Amino acid sequence: MFNLKKSLYFLCFTSLFTACFSITLDAKTLNDKEVQRGMALWQVPSMAVSVVTDKDIEFKKGFGKTGHKKGSTVDQHTLFGIMSTTKAMVAAGLLILAEQDKLNLDDLVTKYIPELHFKDPSMTQQITIRDLLAHRTGLPGTDMWPFLQKTPLDIQIQKLVTIDSSTPVRDRFIYQNTMYELAGEVIHRVSGQRWDHFLKKELWLPIGMNQTYGTRAQVPSSQQHVLPYILVDKKIKKVAWNFDDDEANAAGSVWSSIHDMSLWAQFLLNEGKNAKGVQVISLAGIAEMFKPQMLVAKADFYPTTALTKPNWMSYGLGWFQQDFQGRKIDFHTGSLSGLIAIIGLDRANKKAMVVLANQDHAEVRHALLWHVMDQETGDSSVDWNQSIFDLYQEQITASEKRKLKQKNSRISKSKQSLSIEEYVGVYTHESYGDVEVVIKDKQFILKSVRLTFELSHWHFDTFEMKSEANDIEALLNFNLDQSGKARSLHFFGLDFIKQK
């Protein structure tokens, strides 16, 4: 990983309902009105927000109810999914193991997962634990495994040998969730404990995070949690969970409260010390976590750069990073269907903020982050709520224009080549397994392991596929062989070949 002694030497040189618990507010950083205004813009059912320093809680409050207009009032102990903000915790777990001399971040991953092989043999001999954590393996995203096919990690490991790399190792930042699943597996194999069990023992409980769980199934029945929602045609709609209750995914299955996430933020601001002054992660370990590991291109970063105007962007170990008003800001979002999160740190000024919410991609999280981090006042200050909302509305408008263009290009009077029955069958992809096209209850559908899509004719041999449960829409195309029979289908950029 890194040499602890050398690192230590280096450090020497270098109208919504609100919850009913009381706090002390600092109006210069955040207040109820600003949070509620953002929630109203994005129609967020419930949210929990905190602003902390290394010593104090400036703002910590819950808003709304656990369900849309129903459920319990959200407070500081209400549980939310924290999704990809889990990643920094997984990185912390590996840093702890490194400090226990049980691994090194620069060890090859195959030292701990020897059955792992990549399609390019040279990658197998290059990719380290650090590469997993910094999203610099060069592999494209493989999210179809967890989100469509519910592929177990052991099968993903077997199938990685079939995935073509997009770039050479360490050539470009490419966000890759499966690599964090591998990082969790390294924790498992080195410690003998599943990654979330290890984090609970070695990280969460020492910090005092008693309301943090690796899966939804671990949440006690007595403890309330939010439900997931999306916005469809300006109406709030409940959606299905991305993960099963007992599905432990090191890329983002953790659930926590704003109370616990505030402790986590303060722990990081205090350079790895808990509230009792115990050094849970060394100063060198914390420095390593926040050291930039990979530069990130603007195209691979957040659209908010249009407003924050950074000179540089990078990724640490579980953290996006950029400059803002002359300071380095470390932050990370989390997103699953119907759930969002963000945590941001201004380590120079010892200030952090956390937003947890339950409305799909409600970017009020970015608005509140930069509102808190902004030190400008007077005429030069930015209305972050409105500016972020307008920015993303522009993207939504552009997306709607693309959809309209696609709709206008549809050949409405065209006919499909085959009868519906002739498209039916099992279609296979070398990396992503089987999907099945069936007729069920007079409906034409495509079934993956996790999701079911209704198919309706678009034009020629192209069909529109919709998943109401997760609000997914896409086009699927059937390809015919020379004899005029269905040979394959194409969707999400992948070709699935029909089995004989």
Q: Distance between CA atoms of 156 and 497, rounded to whole angstroms?
A: 20
Q: List, for residues 15-45, the tens digit of each pLDDT value.
A: 332 333 333 333 346 999 999 999 999 999 9
Q: Which CATH architecture has domain 420-498?
A: Beta Barrel (2.40)
Q: Provide the pLDDT for residue 233.
A: 84
Q: Could you tell me which of 203, 195, 213 has the C-alpha nearest to residue 112?
A: 195
CB atoms under 10 Å from CB of 321, counted, come to 24
Contact 373/308 with Cβ under 8 angstroms? Answer: no
Alpha carbon 377 to its chain's center: 32
Residue-wise burial string across 188-209, b where 16 or more C-beta atoms lie within 10 A, e elsewhere: bebbebbbbbbbbebbbebbbb
Contact 449/428 with Cβ under 8 angstroms? Answer: no
Q: Distance between CA atoms of 420 and 424, rounded to whole angstroms?
A: 7
Q: Provide the pLDDT for residue 237.
A: 93
Instruction: Give the residue carrying structure tokens 């290059």.
Output: 126
Query: Three-state SS for 317?
Result: coil
Q: Provide the pLDDT for residue 254.
A: 98
Q: Could you tell me which of 167, 144, 57, 63 has the C-alpha nearest to residue 435?
A: 144
Q: List, for residues 386-423, the tens digit of each pLDDT value.
A: 999 999 999 999 999 999 999 999 998 999 999 999 99
Confidence band (pLDDT; 50, 70, 90) for 8? very low
DSSP 495: E
CATH topology of domain 4-100+179-398: Beta-lactamase (3.40.710)
Is the pLDDT at 1 greater than 60? The verdict is no
Contact 190/97 with Cβ under 8 angstroms? Answer: yes
Confidence band (pLDDT; 50, 70, 90) for 10? very low
DSSP 318: S
Query: Whole-model pTM?
Result: 0.92
Which residue type does 12 have?
C
C-alpha distance from residue 200 to each of 1, 195, 205, 211, 492 (Å): 22, 9, 6, 10, 37
Q: Could you tell me which of 274, 285, 261 has the C-alpha nearest to residue 343?
A: 261
Contact 344/331 with Cβ under 8 angstroms? Answer: yes
Domain ranges of the chain: 4-100+179-398, 420-498
